[in-house]
A and B are shown apart, each in its own frame.
Chain A
Amino acid sequence: MIPSRTRCLILACGNTLRGDDGIGPWLAHWAKKRFSANPAVTIISRQQWTPELAEDIARAQAVLFVDSSAASEPGAIQLVPVAPAAGHPALATHHVDAPQLLALAHELYGSWPRAVFLLTTGAGATNLGEEFSEPVKRALPAACALLETTVRNLLTGNTPRP
């Protein structure tokens, strides 16, 4: 078990050059400004999640993953709890998902965050470009609000409401 240092870790993922796929980094950038005065919140934004992030997760008391979703309606916002992946799923070296990272954190460091959630925004268009689709643009205020509420709940120990 490694010592826990981060009270709330925001872990965003996405490609800012592929339209709505960039929503994760966009929200991470927003959160950096929003929580700039709060040392309890750590924000990491990556193009892809990779296994090395397991240590950051193991060190955190609570984790909020932030990503786009190809499975949801464009602009649809979802907050769901994340459970670790079961068994030993094959890991890609270039990208792992939130359940895999959670499982890896436990396998490597024997540590679980107290609470883990995934915030997704449905992607409408992921073509080359740095602009969001209209449904995602309209969803941004609500996504920001939900992110902020969730982080505040995680910091105070309250269970965020999906």
Chain B
Amino acid sequence: MSQTITIDPVTRLEGHGKITIQLNGQGEVEDAHFHVTQVRGFEKFSEGRPYYEMPGLMARICGICPVSHLIASARACEAIMSVRIPPTAALLRRMLNLAQMVQSHALSFFYLASPDLLLGMEFDPKLRNILGVVAAKPALGRAGVALRRFGQHIIELLGSKRVHPGWVVPGGVTEPLSTAKRDEILAMLPEAYANAALALSAYKQIADRFDAEIDVFANFPSNFMSLLNEDGSIEFTTGALRLIDAQGATIEDGITAARFAEVIGEAVEPYSYTKFAYYKPLGYPQGSYRVGPLARLNIVSSMGTPRAEKELAEFKQLASGPILSSFHYHHARLVEILYGVEKIEEILNDPGILDKHVRATAGVNRLEGAGQAEAPRGVLHHHYKVDENGKMLWANLVIATGQNNRAMNLGVLQAARHYVKDGKFTEGILNRVEAVVRAFDPCLSCSSHAFGQMPLAISLVSAHGKVVDRAVRG
């Protein structure tokens, strides 16, 4: 008799989802799916609104990465306006996006993943949380909290609010940076450097313990996509996309926001409200790809900042080509935190950073526009159509989690096949299957909008469709 395991809800994620594992009559894993069980209605209810309201509206999709939505949305609006924003506004936006990346990666690594990594996958689940980490590794716990505060405080200084700042607008930003705020951020940098270094050092000390997980945590050949600059360096706010294959060869380069819809399609599967993005010329599912920190570090040839450059070189030693195990998303995230701190310092020392010209103005000059930016979890694409008066007629958002969706599902299947034997699972096994999804740090709220609690659940289902075991946590 076959069975299905359900993990519902999956815990320590940004959003609400569940995992089902289908067993055959011999108790072997036949199939597994990661389901996102919420619906996002933002594209629909933005219809009829003035386009210039879109950044503020779209940022409400997420409380973790609202800045990426603000930037991608503002860039789509600027395509409609046909304007280039002032250089200082571009620098300030870049800093805001990096601050968000630092706080979001700190949240993912320290709050969500580190209980597994530092305490162990089999550790008592009642104590396997950030407080458990704090008790076992207080310095690391403080570093995590401090890095999150660092990013959030910069967002608050620039945008007046930690969550959903309204400072990024079509044409630039609403207010220039003051000397006092610049100096306050500069004063925070030494501690941020120390905390980023501490985290990287701690991770490298424990990474060897997870060879078994590295082997089966979504470890397979796939394509990867991310923004980068023309010189091959990492980019979060401008640049164009590059898609590479599992051997590192470029499939397509220079994918601008205007060309995104031409080459990227979205497939639908019956078990999830989140779509499955793919590269159209390869079709679905062959054209599926991964995005986010692992993809970025696989694609770029340079970080463009000295400390992160050294870490990138070390990271790339993990494999001779692209690094395929999604377990390494954790390591990539820490390298990006260090990059973020360095780049923020570089931006603050730019001689033009205090310039008062931070906003360009224009009306509707095109009836369609698209914008993209790297969110912490991967590239984010906004695409809008408006009428002559600037009223929104249509919107489409392609979110990082949708672009990682296929890889997350394959990863859950890979881990379930490895760990679930004879139709049985322990809490530690269940936690490993969840941890595969956690490695991607998906934002289910973004990919299909969440409302309320944010957990995930696992079910074990028989060949006759009967749920024979179920774990619900949240």
Q: Is the pair A109, B63 in contact by a Cβ cutoff of 8 Å?
A: no
Closest residue of A by beta carbon distance from B454:
A94
Chain B residues near A46 (CB, 8 Å)?
162
Residues A55 and B149 in contact in the complex (CB < 8 Å), given A88-B126, A108-B141, A108-B142: yes
Q: Specify which chain A residues have a CB less than 8 angstroms from the CB of B162 in the assembled complex.
A: 46
Q: How far is the CB of A2 from chain B (nearest CB, A)?
A: 10
Give bound CA distance, A54 to B163, whole Å. Answer: 18
Does the CB pair A107–B148 fall under 8 Å?
no
Candidates B14, B134, B146, B163; contact of A104 at CB < 8 Å? B134
- Given A93-B111, A94-B454; A108-B138 close (CB under 8 Å): yes
CB distance from B166 to the nearest CB of A (A): 15
- B458 CB, nearest partner CB in chain A, Å: 17
Interface size in chain B (residues, C-beta < 8 A): 25
A103 touching B152 by the CB < 8 A rule? Answer: no
Is the CB–CB distance between B132 and A51 below 8 Å? no
Is the pair B145, A107 in contact by a Cβ cutoff of 8 Å? no
Nearest CB of chain A from residue B387's CB, rounded to whole Å: 29
**Closest chain A CB from B19 CB (angstroms):** 19
Query: Which DSSP category, helix, strand, loop or mixed, fits chain B's interface?
Result: helix
Which listed residue (B112, B131, B163, B454) contacts A107, Cβ 8 A?
A: B131
The interface residues of chain A lying within 8 Å CB-to-CB of B131 are: 88-91, 103-104, 107
Question: Any chain B CB within 8 A of the CB of A47?
Answer: yes
Contacts of B129 in A (CB 8 A): 88-91
Chain B, Cβ-Cβ closest to A56 = B149
Contacts of A92 in B (CB 8 A): 454
Nearest to B112 among chain A residues (CB) is: A93
- Provide the bound-state CA to CA distance between A121 and B131, in Å: 29
How would residues 118 to 141 of chain B score, 1 for a CB under 8 Å from any chain A CB and 0 otherwise? 000000001101111011001001
Question: When the two chains form their complex, are residues A93 and B107 in contact, meaning their CB atoms are under 8 A apart?
Answer: yes
Q: Does A134 contact B (CB under 8 A)?
A: no
**A130 interface hit (Cβ, 8 Å):** no
**Contacting pair A108 B134 (CB below 8 A):** yes
Q: How far is the CA of A55 from the CA of B144 in the complex (A)?
A: 12
Q: Of B107, B142, B148, B454, which is within 8 A of A109 by CB?
A: B142
Cβ distance B163 to chain A, nearest Cβ, rounded Å: 7
Q: Which of A88, A103, A108, A109 contacts B127 (CB 8 A)?
A: A88
Q: A92 vs B16: C-alpha distance in the bound complex, in angstroms?
A: 13
A52 on the interface (CB 8 Å rule)? yes
Interface string of A63-95 (1 = CB under 8 A from B): 000000000000000000000000111111110
Residues of B within 8 A of A103 (CB): 131
Chain B 103-117 interface residues, beta-carbon cutoff 8 Å to A? 107, 111-112
Task: Report the minimum CB–CB distance from B88 to chain A (whole Å).
Answer: 29
In the complex, which residue of chain B has the Cβ closest to the Cβ of A92? B454
8 contacts between A and B (CB under 8 A): A52-B145, A89-B129, A90-B131, A91-B111, A91-B130, A94-B63, A107-B138, A107-B141
Binding site for B on A (CB under 8 A): 46-47, 51-52, 54-55, 87-94, 103-104, 107-109
Chain B residues in the interface with A (C-beta under 8 A) = 12, 14, 63, 107, 111-112, 126-127, 129-132, 134-135, 138, 141-142, 145-146, 148-149, 152, 162-163, 454
| 8 closest Cβ pairs, A-B complex | A88-B131, A107-B134, A52-B149, A90-B129, A88-B127, A93-B111, A88-B132, A91-B130
